[in-house]
Amino acid sequence: MKNSTDYAKKLKKLYRSLKKKHPNTPKATFDEAADALVYAIISENTSEKQAQAAFKRFGDHFLDLNDLRVSRTDEIVEMIGKDAPTTRRIASTITKALRNVFNEHHKVSLEALKKMGKRPAKSALEKIDGTSKFVVDYCMLTALEGHAIPVTTVMADYLRANDLVHPDADEQEIGGFLAKQIASKNGYEFYALLRNESESQIKKKAKQAKTTKKVKKQTKTSGKTKPRTKTKPKTKPKTKAKTTKKATKKTKTKKKKTKKKTRK
């Protein structure tokens, strides 16, 4: 990566600041790598909170991974969340991957990968139909004690937007760069902190967008004033005018009479 030394300093500074904000980050581990596989497929295309909720629903609804393997797409989509292209893609990827695992190992389990070395285990994961780099890295990190930093699209966008990696770097390059900068023992902590920070930034932007929309609506409604109705100029009623003329005539006649009286 270009300017790697500068980006490395910025990443370490970010890591220190995130550790101060969130000092106790629990580590996620999976005894069964196939469970990590399923979770990673969900987690790659959803937020961490949504993935945790969906995975819990999976455990409550399906008997085991084999039951999940043979389930209908609609049923899996319902457990993930709303029926959308993303959730349907997740559901089909899960069943595809689990079928591949079953065909290879004659059971829905990746326990055999723990007996392999790290490189053979990683290559075995990469051969599973439907697995991405994120899914492979997540399985290695949480189930096979490998050193990897899984990177979602949201995380990569956050790093590029905040000038923490090169703007032209793709997710694969970013993941490799992060793994070089962060020690193996801190791998999951850094991943969890970075993911939480990147997803919270999206929430903040969404809230700001909502508030700006509300403000615009309020300004539009306040700007609309009622149309002015034409009012006729106020004129003195004619009756009053006549009465005033009569009153002046009466006063004039009274004055004349008084003058006549004074002459006598």
The per-residue DSSP string of 154-223 comes to HHHHHHHHTTSS-TT--HHHHHHHHHHHS-GGGHHHHHHHHHHHHHHHHHHHHHHHHHHHHHHHHHHHHH
| Domain membership flag for residue 20 | yes
For the chain, what's the residue count? 264
Residue 48 lies in domain: 30-130
Residues 13 and 90 in one domain: no
Question: For 264, which DSSP code?
Answer: -
The radius of gyration computed from the CA coordinates of the chain, to the nearest angstrom, equals: 38
Over residues 55-66, the mean pLDDT reads 97
- In contact, 187 and 141? CB cutoff 8 Å: yes
pLDDT for the residue numbered 208: 73
Using pLDDT thresholds of 50, 70 and 90, give the confidence band for residue 102.
very high
CA 124 from centroid of its chain's CA atoms: 33
pLDDT at 49 over 90: yes
Average pLDDT across the chain, whole number: 87
| Domain membership flag for residue 56 | yes
Residues 111 and 55 in one domain: yes
pLDDT at 223 over 90: no
Domain count, the chain: 2
Residues 1 and 57 in one domain: no
Measured CA to CA, the distance from residue 107 to residue 110 in angstroms comes to 9
Alpha helices in the chain (DSSP H): 4-21, 33-44, 48-61, 65-69, 73-80, 85-105, 118-127, 133-142, 153-161, 171-181, 187-223, 238-263
Three-state SS for 132?
A: coil
Which amino acid, residue 208?
Answer: Q
Work out the burial of residue 158: count CB atoms within 10 Å of its CB; fewer than 13 is exposed, 13-18 middle, 19 or more buried.
buried
Residues 105 and 54 in one domain: yes
| Domain membership flag for residue 228 | no
pLDDT at 200 over 60: yes
What percent of the chain has a predicted confidence (pLDDT) above 70? Answer: 79
Over residues 185-189, the mean pLDDT reads 96
CA 13 from centroid of its chain's CA atoms: 24
Residues 196 and 169 in one domain: yes
Residues 60 and 123 in one domain: yes
